[in-house]
Homo-oligomer: A and B are copies of this chain.
């Protein structure tokens, strides 16, 4: 049962201070807090709230004319999560820009997942996406969207990846950041070593990979490793694990990392019968 909406008529109201100038604050640390925007992401937050991944909603801000259409989703949050409502002028003054989606939520991750614990929790048949050095929030969001579409069980990010809980990454992921379990931190070699110890067959994706992604072999536990577009994965990773390439015309810049990882995950998901 959702909270009774609280009307806000002053953008300086302290109760909605967390929502102020969200765009500018997007790039600074927020103690595990994140911003969810739009209906689809709010729905994912409702599903994640209070679950094993440690996500909680702290407050929701809704444009007054969206309240009716969102009733069903809002009803999924407990009454302890305040719902604020404002008209267009106040709403935009709070957000600091014209937020045409008209729905914002502040979420919090109680405790960041630990890679070792996440790996230990994975089922016998698992597909994992590992990423290394992904610094672009669009690409990060797209990686999660692809991971969700092809049923990946977890995403592991090394310490050089950007935070998937940034507003834009969450939005581009269509909320998948809140649904696919992930851990971030540590160096890539250690992370992948842990996966190998846990029985994962690891495929590093590279334009110069040895095996076409169309010809890799099935295995109950598969991990795909994606790197940055420019530099690609470090030689230490490419020499330690299997390497796979997306077959493509020679002489071109490699595919965007989002598309390349999507193709590779598609192929791995088909192989493992995760999608049909």
Residues of B contacting A40 in the complex (Cβ-Cβ under 8 angstroms): 253
Residues of B contacting A212 in the complex (Cβ-Cβ under 8 angstroms): 276
Measured CA separation A145–B275 after assembly (Å): 26
A161 within 8 A of partner (CB) = no
- Total identical chains: 2
Residues of B contacting A227 in the complex (Cβ-Cβ under 8 angstroms): none
Measured CA separation A276–B270 after assembly (Å): 18
What 1/0 mask marks residues of chain A from 11 to 41 whose CB sits below 8 Å from any chain B CB? 0000000000000000000000000000010
Measured CA separation A146–B263 after assembly (Å): 11
What 1/0 mask marks residues of chain A from 235 to 276 whose CB sits below 8 Å from any chain B CB? 000000000001111001111101110110010011000111
B263 touching A249, Cβ below 8 Å: no
The one of B148, B249, B258, B275 that contacts A258, using a Cβ cutoff of 8 Å: B258
What 1/0 mask marks residues of chain A from 141 to 176 whose CB sits below 8 Å from any chain B CB? 010011011110000000000000000000000101
A198 within 8 A of partner (CB) = no
Measured CA separation A253–B142 after assembly (Å): 12
Residues of B contacting A269 in the complex (Cβ-Cβ under 8 angstroms): 247-248
B262 touching A150, Cβ below 8 Å: no
Measured CA separation A275–B252 after assembly (Å): 13
Residues of B contacting A259 in the complex (Cβ-Cβ under 8 angstroms): 142, 145-146, 258-259, 262-263
A214 within 8 A of partner (CB) = yes
A-B contact pairs, 19 of them (CB 8 A): A142-B256, A142-B259, A145-B255, A145-B259, A146-B259, A149-B246, A149-B249, A149-B254, A214-B270, A247-B269, A247-B270, A247-B275, A248-B266, A248-B269, A249-B274, A249-B275, A256-B262, A258-B258, A259-B263
Chain A residues within CB distance 8 Å of chain B: 40, 142, 145-146, 148-151, 174, 176, 212, 214, 246-249, 252-256, 258-260, 262-263, 266, 269-270, 274-276
Supplied contacts A247-B276, A258-B258, A263-B266, 19 more A-B pairs, CB within 8 Å: A40-B253, A145-B256, A145-B259, A146-B255, A149-B246, A149-B252, A149-B254, A149-B255, A150-B249, A151-B248, A174-B252, A174-B253, A247-B270, A247-B275, A248-B275, A259-B259, A259-B263, A260-B262, A263-B263
